[in-house]
Structures are given as structure tokens and as C-alpha cells.
Amino acid sequence: MLNAAVAPAVDRARPRAGAGRAALPVPDPWLLVPALLLLALGLLMVTSASMPVAERQTGQPFYFLIRQGLFVLTGLVLAGVALRIPLARWRQASPFLLGAAVVLLALVLMPGIGKDVKGSSRWINLGPVNIQVSEVAKLFALVYVASYLKRHGAALQTADVRASALALLRPMAVLSLLAVLLLLEPDFGSVIVLMAVALGMVLVAGVNLWQFGLLQAGTVTVMALLLWSSPLRRARLIAFLDPWASSETTGYQLTQSLIAIGRGELFGVGLGQSVQKLFYLPEAHTDFLFAVLAEELGLFGILLVITLFMTLVWRAFTIARRAEWLDMHFSAWLAYGIGLWFGIQSLFNMGVNMGVLPTKGLTLPLMSYGGSSVVVMCVTLAVLLRIDMETRAGGVHSE
């Protein structure tokens, strides 16, 4: 069914004789509009959720709004730059981007360079801003995986068991290095997202299923061991299983989030009227922004946000499928990866807020307060828009 739906679009996208290097088509509104709506809604909710804490900490109730607005503006400017970069340049730069990701993740662990916040060293301080390098590293890692799959896709699908196994294990070994560096910060949530997205990209690229099953089982086993080996992560898991039993200690954040969501009912208590943001719910404008949104806008707001993210993921997969039909494999695998990234991270954040997943410290893409996340997600969406534009141009500008 999907092939039949995509085929007419592919036929229309194929270049006509004499088309040459025609101008790229306009950006896809089905991608652009939901992304801009999420950014706008995020600014609105950051303002609402952060005003009490901003007033108490800085004396300026719009402190976080001003900073988030500057982050969004920076993200849009850099997205405009990224939109002009051909996908071939990203593919050619993939080894250097991977090296940059390793260097950044190593630098953040060095005393005097990495900034420690609440026991985690995830940021590099650059004057007035802090860069969370894991966000940049995730984008660079996805570019590397897409490039690898383009170069070695045939080896993954070969009947030679040894060759296919080596082709599968090589990128996983590289990603394991990134995972180790992330765990040293520690940033277990980013490890889960990175590995889940990478495994999804490998699966859609075509891989020996029993080998993939073994790899997936091994990855899940390692993640479970890492989860249980850390006292902090173990405490979060126990609190997640029964947050009300520890509602004053390890389960406090989750119970306050659940109270906020429960108060929202169908249409919420009204914009700006949240009670939980008044120093009850920690990180109300960052990791738990979704809970404040649910309290103030209710089930209507929840469904709106879910619909916007589902639209982004749907368009990403449609674009990836079209690129695959045009044999633009790097673009296809990267588009699949971007769609998986947005889908998995938003699902994890909402799941944590709703108490169906343990707390992981992941932001809600395009919405939560945080410069690194917003800027990188804007650039990532620009890359996806570029993939869409090149595929609709028939690949004449592409890899």
C-alpha cells in the first residue's frame, strides 16, 4: 500500500529531460507548519511554566522567555543556513562529524571545560550560554550511520553470514564508544535514544533479521544491566513502579506531574492557571513542560501536541520512502533516522510525564526550555526539509 501511494509522487519527482540543476521546490508545509506551531506553543508554555521560578530566581518573570526566544531565533537562523547545504556535503563530512562528536563528548568530561550541574557534566560553558554536547553528538551520529548504511548497505543484506555480521557490528562498535562517553556524563536518556534510533535505521536499511534480533537482545540486556547498576537509576525505576510509595522522596517529581495532568481534565484549568508550576513540580519549564501543558490545556492540548509530532514523523517517513524509491539512500536513511529521533524522544518525554516510563531527563523536542535542544532540533528539521526538497527535485541536487 505504501509503495502504491509513494510511486506517483516519485514519478512526478523524477527530473525531466533538460531539467538540469533547476531551482529547488519550496519547503513542505506539512513539515514546516507543525514545526513552527510546536515552537510557538513551546514558547507559550515555557513562559507560563517558568514565570514563578524566574521571578524568584532573577526578579524578572520573563527571563526564561527572553532566553528561549533568543535560542529559537538562533535555531531558525542556523536552520536557514543548513537548508542551503546539499545532502552530498553532509555525507562527505560524516567522518569529520563523527570525530567532532567524539571530541565534544570527551571535552565535556575534562575538568575546567565541562560544566557540572546537579552531579552531571553535560555542558560546555561558552560565556552566556552552555552547550549540551549530547544534542549535537546525536545529530552527527545519525549522519554517520546514514552514510555508513549507504556505503555498506549491500553487505548488511548479503547471504554471507560473516560479512553481514561484520557490517552490522562495525557501526554498533562506533556508537558504543559514544554511548560510553555519554554514560560517563552521565546521560542515560541520550544513550537510549541514540541506540534506539540507530537500531531503527539499521532495520529499515535491510538487515539479516536473526542477527538484528541478537543485537537487539544484547543491547536491551546491556541497557538493563546499566539501569540496575546505578543507584540513582535504580531508585528512579523503583519510584516509577510505585511513585506514591515514595511521594516525598524519589517519587516526588512524578507524583507532582501526575497531579498536574489529572487536574487538566478535558480542556485544562486555563493558560497560566497551573498550580503545580508554583514550586511544586521541579523542572516545570524543561523536562516536565508537558505536565504543565496538560494541566493548563487539558486533554485537548495533549492531543494537539501528539498530532503535531505524529505529523512530523509521518512526513519524515514519507520523505524517506520517496528518497528510497529514487535510490537516494543516504537521504532515505537519514530521513528515517530523523523521524525516529523525533518520534522516540517525544514519546519518551511524554511517557515520563505520564508515569509510563522511568524519569530520563529528556526534553520535549522544539518545546522544552533549553538552547542546545531547540537549536539542534531546528537544524535537524532543516536537514529533513532539504531532503524533501532534493527528492521532489528528482535528486538533481543530491548525493
pLDDT tens figures, 87-132: 999 999 999 999 999 999 999 998 888 887 766 788 888 777 788 9
Judge whether 70 and 370 are in contact, CB under 8 Å: no
pLDDT tens figures, 24-60: 888 899 999 999 999 999 999 999 999 999 999 999 9
Between residues 16 and 287, which one has the greater pLDDT?
Answer: 287
**Could you give the C-alpha distances from 259 to 14, 147, 288, 355, in angstroms and in order?**
53, 45, 12, 11
Task: Fill in the amino acid letter for 48.
Answer: S
Q: Report how far residue 360's alpha carbon sits from residue 364's, in angstroms, rounded to the nearest whole number.
A: 12
Q: Does 301 have pLDDT greater than 90?
A: yes
What is the average per-residue pLDDT within 176-199?
A: 92
pTM beyond cutoff 0.85: yes
- Residues in Cβ contact with 325 at an 8 Å cutoff, skipping those fewer than 6 apart: 6, 7, 10
Strands 120-126 and 114-117: antiparallel
The number of beta carbons lying within 10 Å of the beta carbon of residue 299 is: 14
pLDDT tens figures, 329-352: 999 999 999 999 999 999 999 999
Most confident of 17-21, 179-183, 309-313: 309-313
Domain ranges of the chain: 27-392
Between residues 302 and 251, which one has the greater pLDDT?
Answer: 302
Question: ∠ CA 191-194-197 to the nearest 5 degrees?
Answer: 140
